[in-house]
């Protein structure tokens, strides 16, 4: 499709697909349910979506087949792609960690010298070993890395871990972390030379930033005695000064504020103690600061 639209590559089917689509929809893009299509255009925006295998996304963006892409940082670094990382997106979080049989121990990383480590991430592991001056053998395996030690193929593994359940099932235990990953928005390095697309990208980034910010913020509302206002202002970690509104009962006020979502459970007891009542916490759809 050579229509001049910004081309965004996302994972066709996998862990990052739904969250990537959700982020785009929260940014105001009207995207139909894609079913099995490889490319679709947003109905209300100059953007085409390409659905690709996530392993291929960094290279497609590097080569300009797609202008931008959403993919895990693990894949970006493993593929050594020459792309610009524009934003970290806060989902798809995982760790690439070393793991070893439950019966073995590893007290410090020097003990990795001379060991065999199975992984699907040979490049990331190799830079980690180099950085730590370790001489170990990397055994490259494309999938089911966790069975390598029981087959005698390696002493340890280096694999993505989130809950640790797969490790437990294979009688392995987690050891040192090698790399932390989350989904990221990447761009082709020459995109700034395309004036039209670059200007769409600036607007797209503005929308993404406001959607990301809205996700981590909440709208807090409460009523309180006027006399408690100063105490409550000290408690509320407001982004800006809170809104204070008069109520029919002149001794009371309503206080509204945007707060970081995770702060609510740290402050609600203090708010109640200060005299706040009718405390409401609401989601925010979008936020432009
Ligand atoms: P997948 O759909 O399994 O191919 O995973 C795609 C991407 O999701 C990976 O490259 C990681 O960036 C990310 N991810 C998040 N959590 C995990 C996990 N527990 N295991 C594997 N990948 C994960």
pLDDT band at 287 (very low <50, low <70, confident <90, very high): confident
Cα–Cα distance measured from residue 155 to residue 254, given in angstroms and rounded to the nearest whole number: 62
Give the mean model confidence (pLDDT) for residues 102-128. 97
Give the mean model confidence (pLDDT) for residues 158-177. 92
Give the mean model confidence (pLDDT) for residues 254-259. 96
- What pLDDT score does 1 carry? 58
Distances in whole angstroms, Cα of residue 122 to Cα of each of 53, 75, 184: 19, 11, 21
Q: Are 172 and 148 in contact (CB under 8 A)?
A: no
Give the mean model confidence (pLDDT) for residues 266-276. 96
Please list, in sequence order, all residues whose beta carbon lies within 8 angstroms of the beta carbon of residue 159, skipping any fewer than 6 positions away.
96, 97, 99, 119, 120, 121, 145, 146
Helix, strand, or coil (residue 84): strand
Q: Distance, CA 74 to ligand 1 centroid (Å)? A: 9
Q: Distance, CA 39 to ligand 1 centroid (Å)? A: 22
pTM for the model: 0.88
Q: Distance, CA 96 to ligand 1 centroid (Å)? A: 10
CA-74 nearest atom, ligand 1 = 12
Residue 125 has pLDDT above 80, yes or no: yes
Instruction: Determine which of 4-8, 85-89, 163-167, 185-189 has the lowest per-residue pLDDT on average.
Output: 163-167
- What pLDDT score does 139 carry? 98
């Amino acid at each position: 499709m050579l229509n001049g639209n910004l081309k965004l590559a996302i994972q066709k089917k996998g862990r990052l697909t739904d969250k990537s689509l959700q982020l785009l929809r929260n940014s105001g893009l009207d995207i139909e349910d894609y079913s099995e299509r490889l490319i679709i255009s947003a109905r209300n925006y100059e953007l085409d979506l390409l659905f690709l295998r996530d392993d291929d996304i960094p290279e497609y963006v590097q080569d300009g087949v797609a202008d931008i892409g959403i993919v895990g940082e693990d894949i970006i670094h493993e593929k050594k792609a020459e792309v610009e990382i524009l934003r970290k997106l806060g989902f798809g979080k995982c760790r690439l960690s070393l793991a070893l049989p439950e019966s073995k121990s590893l007290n410090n990383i020097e003990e990795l010298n001379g060991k065999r480590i199975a992984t699907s991430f040979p490049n990331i592991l190799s830079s980690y070993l180099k950085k730590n001056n370790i001489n170990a053998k990397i055994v490259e395996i494309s999938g089911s890395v966790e069975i390598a030690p029981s087959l005698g193929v390696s002493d340890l593994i280096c694999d993505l871990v989130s809950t640790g359940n797969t490790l437990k099932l294979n009688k392995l235990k987690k050891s040192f972390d090698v790399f932390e990953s989350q989904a990221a928005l990447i761009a082709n390095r020459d995109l700034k030379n395309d004036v039209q697309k670059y200007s769409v990208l600036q607007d797209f980034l503005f929308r993404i930033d406001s959607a990301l910010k809205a996700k981590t913020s909440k709208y807090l509302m409460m009523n309180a005695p006027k006399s408690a206002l100063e105490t409550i202002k000290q408690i509320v970690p407001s982004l800006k000064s809170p809104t204070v509104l008069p109520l029919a009962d002149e001794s009371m006020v309503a206080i509204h504020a945007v707060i970081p979502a995770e702060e609510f459970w740290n402050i609600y007891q203090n708010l109640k103690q200060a005299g706040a009542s009718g405390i409401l916490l609401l989601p925010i759809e979008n936020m432009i600061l």
